[in-house]
Amino acid sequence: MPTKTLPYIFDKTQDADWGRCGFELDIYKAPKSSKNPLITLKGGLGDAGSLSLKPLREAILDLTHGKISVATIGTLRPFNLYESVRILTSPAEESRARQQRMHSMRRGTEKAVALTGARFVLLGGQSQGAVTAIDSGKKMLNTESHAEQPKIAVATINAPGVYESLEYEGVPLKGLIDLGAHCLPALASLSCYEKYRLIKDYLKNPRLVLELPYLLGEIEYLKSIGLQDEIEALRLGGVAVGHIFHDQDIVEGAVDALQDPSAVVFPGIHTTFMIEPKPVAEALVNMSYELYENPSNVINLSQMSSYYI
């Protein structure tokens, strides 16, 4: 929960069909939510439930004092062993895990819009979740009923492939081990209670036993991920895209981001947003208010006023 007593209405919704991919939505609705921006958040690799983004969600709530709605969206895989193993049977199936994450965020965001009536939504994603946010934004942009949908924007946090496509030739599992070693110091600094909060919901999810094949499929497509074309398509469609990086991240992009007015760089590593969420929260809130008040397909994160005060 947020650290302050705030006038939010909490709602938890599951689309838990066991035979297909569903979503889990945890949303804090602001009073008069149709007149306020909405932020939806998706977690990174191995974080199908977006549990790592709870500190960021709470920081946003504390900054905005009831003037913004914010939600985390989890992906509920089909509880089906055949569907799970199928991911590993053919290279063509690697994108299946990516599509499942996209549909879960898209449908979760649509549910959040239905609950709040929001006319502006910022789709935010961290690491692989940024890929999902971009994919979901493209899908929503191309939906036939787009004219009836709210204005959308996308924010990536420590995203791979923003400026250059990845060309990882090593064993996929080694890349995961390297990422884990990079993140371990920050995770180790969490208190026992914070660690418990991070994993307790996973331990209650029976679908977790079938998640490993999906994880391996996602690692495989991330080896050569490139998001430049998708980002350009969003901007051409009138969707603003902003980028947030940390300067010591194992995921490259911070150096190029220093020359990009639509990007901002903070000190830290890949998981700093979990320990020090406020800078990222400020950037997301500022981007939301700026685009809510001044709709545009461009955003200058490096010279933005603070709207959260």
- CA angle 162/238/112 to nearest 5° reads 85
Which pLDDT score, from 0 to 100, does residue 307 have? Answer: 64
Q: Which residues of the chain have pLDDT under 70?
A: 1-6, 90-94, 144-148, 168-190, 193-199, 201-206, 305, 307-309
Whether the model clears a pTM of 0.85, i.e. scores above it, the answer is yes
**pLDDT tens per residue, range 268-301:** 988 889 889 999 999 999 999 999 988 888 888 8
Which pLDDT score, from 0 to 100, does residue 181 have? Answer: 58
Which pLDDT score, from 0 to 100, does residue 34 have? Answer: 80
Give the 3-state secondary structure of 185-204: HHHHCCCHHHHHHHHHHHHC
Which pLDDT score, from 0 to 100, does residue 132 have? Answer: 96
Which pLDDT score, from 0 to 100, does residue 72 have? Answer: 97
**pLDDT tens per residue, range 253-273:** 889 999 999 999 999 988 889
CA gap 215, 95 in Å, rounded? 12
Which pLDDT score, from 0 to 100, does residue 78 have? Answer: 85
List Cβ neighbours of 293 (8 Å cut-off, separation of 6 or more). none
CA gap 147, 127 in Å, rounded? 30
Which pLDDT score, from 0 to 100, does residue 21 have? Answer: 86
Which pLDDT score, from 0 to 100, does residue 2 have? Answer: 52
Sign of the dihedral through C-alpha 212, 139, 55, 221: positive
Q: Report the amino acid identity of residue 231.
A: I
SS3 of residue 193 by DSSP: helix
